[in-house]
Amino acid sequence: MLTWTDVIRYATKGNPPAPRRVEKPDMEWKKVLTPDEFHVTRQKGTERAFTGEYCEAHEPGLYACRCCETHLFDSSLKFDSGTGWPSFTQPVDVAAIQYHKDNAFGMVRIEVLCNVCDAHLGHVFPDGPAPSGLRYCINSASIRLVEKF
């Protein structure tokens, strides 16, 4: 189980190796993503709180990267954080996510990206529920429910 200490270590000393890589020029991404999905995933945008497709979703399954279909989060680890974005306590695999310090907007946060295609997903915070204490705050535009149990 990942902890905040692990997240900080990855953000400062390097991320786990990706299981594979998917790289495309922006013109290719624009062909397969909606304008909103492109803005969030490729330009590090953020959807407005409480507007995302998966904010209130409770269907069982796996959430994958909207860009490359890499499995990222399991719905069994999704919780209602009250923040307006889908929130998870852990990724499905330590190598699924990469972590970067984000100093934008006068704050220090940890940005989370898909480790396979570098899609911006959202941020992770140390205020989630036990036992991990992590809250992965993820944009719905960056994920897709791909596998139902």
Q: Which residues are catalytic?
A: 137
- Is-contact 146 69, C-beta < 8 A? yes
Q: How many CA atoms lie within 13 A of 139 on its CB side?
A: 27
- Is-contact 83 49, C-beta < 8 A? yes
Per-state percent for the chain, helix, strand, coil, to nearest 5: 25, 25, 50
- Is-contact 4 133, C-beta < 8 A? yes
